[in-house]
Structure 1
Amino acid sequence: MAQKRCGDVFAFLGAEEQKRLASVVTERILEQDSYLFEVGDPADEVFFLAQGRLSVQKKTGFHRKMQVVAILESGAIVGEAGLLSGHVHGVSVRAIEHSHLFRLGCQELQTLERTDSQLVIQLLKHLLLISSLRLEKTAERLAHVL
């Protein structure tokens, strides 16, 4: 069962909530240099990085050059915009090392909305917090450049 190997990736939830979320996520293993997704791929899922490191890369506009814009480590969440309908990925995410993730797709989220709305609220609050912190860091970096 996924819950036994989740480690701290769901630490933002209580023990019971962790079990309930673990029952609907699926495991995904990425070998070093494998892509989780690439720019333009359909986005319909979010991933929780349980172990490993991922590189987030953005196109630079110079031919096919990519720029690393973030390194994600264990505990990180990636692809959260995938929970919004009709999105495609604006970045590529590649494994820097062997990585273990848990996947929550839109369908699983919709099921949880009907069966466990309190868990969904906790999950969305955490995703909002992560997005807010990322936006804050981006603003700080931009302020240093300007």
Structure 2
Amino acid sequence: MKWHLLAVGQRMPAWAQAAYDDYAKRFPAEARVHLHTVKAEPRSGGKPPEVLMAAERQRLEAACPKGARIVVLDERGERCTTRELAQRLLDWQRDGRDVAFLIGGPDGLDPGLRASADHRLRLSDLTLPHALARVLLIEQLYRAWSLNTGHPYHRE
């Protein structure tokens, strides 16, 4: 099983990229998170958000590994603790499918994509910038992986 993070938007602020890279390099080779970025649809031209999200959906679906379990990050998604995320990762690992975590663009994810996802996950009740969402996700994946491998990273 491989983990993939698919995100709309190719450029992150330097601080966010540095934080993301710091967590990404902590994973061993067999547990790496593979980052795939797709171009955001240009916001000029007065296109309605539905058109923008549909275009970004096509790019995300094209970048998604075939047969992967789709987990969308969404403000309406399910809340879970780090321990619950760790357990889900173990459960998902048992079925052997890759897991693709999807982060939408400035307008969010296409409603059809959200509806068709295997899981909808919420990182916070707060509104987060997309760059920070990437950092929070990889940090939580690292923390969950650490729990599952007995690493003393998580403290309660």
| TM-score using structure 2 length | 0.26
| TM-score using structure 1 length | 0.27
Question: Normalized per residue, which structure has more strand?
Answer: 1
Q: Between the two structures, name the one with larger relative contact order (CA 8 Å, sep ≥ 6).
A: 2
Question: Normalized per residue, which structure has more helix?
Answer: 2
